[in-house]
């Protein structure tokens, strides 16, 4: 892969661009966390993805995968626990809030350990 540069003053700036077939999407919370993790802890992977112009695609893939797994886990938890029903929410809202927050934290920890911090 050949990188072309543009001279601006005393500096050579690389001409970076997105591939035409590459779809731009939104890099969410998990994509940004993944970016910080690989930039600090896996510098070889970070530089390889950056040089191959695949960093954005990798972050979009991680972000989408994490969000879909989080949604699947939360749907599963809500469906299988009768304490999270609307009737329970009306009867004891503090207990319902405690349970839903506990499930959110569990799902978030699973997503982070499976996709982001590996």
The answer to whether residue 70 scores a pLDDT higher than 80 is yes
pLDDT of residue 1: 59
pLDDT of residue 4: 86
The CA distance from 87 to 78, in Å, is: 13
DSSP state of 11: E
Closest to 37 in 3D by CA, of 54, 59, 22: 59
Closest to 32 in 3D by CA, of 71, 70, 66, 73: 66
For the chain, give percent helix, strand, coil, nearest 5.
Answer: 70, 5, 25
Query: How many residues does the structure list for the chain?
Result: 118
The CA distance from 92 to 82, in Å, is: 13
What pTM was computed for the model?
0.76
Give 72-104 pLDDT, tens digit per residue.
999 999 999 988 888 888 999 999 999 999 999
Backbone angles phi, psi at 16, to 5 degrees: -100, 145
Question: Is 45 or 53 the better-scoring residue by pLDDT?
Answer: 45
pLDDT of residue 20: 61
pLDDT of residue 19: 61
Give 19-50 pLDDT, tens digit per residue.
665 566 789 999 999 999 999 999 999 999 99
pLDDT of residue 2: 75
Share of the chain above pLDDT 70, in %: 92
Q: Name the band, by pLDDT with cuts 50, 70 and 90, for residue 14.
A: confident
């Amino acid at each position: 892969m050949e990188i072309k540069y543009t001279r601006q003053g005393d500096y050579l700036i690389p001409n970076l661009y997105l591939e035409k077939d590459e779809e731009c999407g939104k890099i969410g919370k998990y994509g940004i966390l993944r970016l910080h993790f690989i930039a600090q802890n896996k510098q070889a992977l970070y530089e390889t993805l950056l040089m191959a112009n695949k960093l954005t695609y990798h972050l979009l893939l991680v972000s989408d995968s994490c969000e879909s797994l989080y949604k699947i886990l939360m749907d599963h938890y809500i469906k299988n626990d009768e304490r999270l029903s609307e009737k329970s929410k009306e009867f004891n809202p503090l207990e319902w809030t405690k349970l839903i927050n506990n499930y959110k934290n569990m799902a978030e920890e699973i997503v982070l350990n499976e996709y982001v911090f590996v």
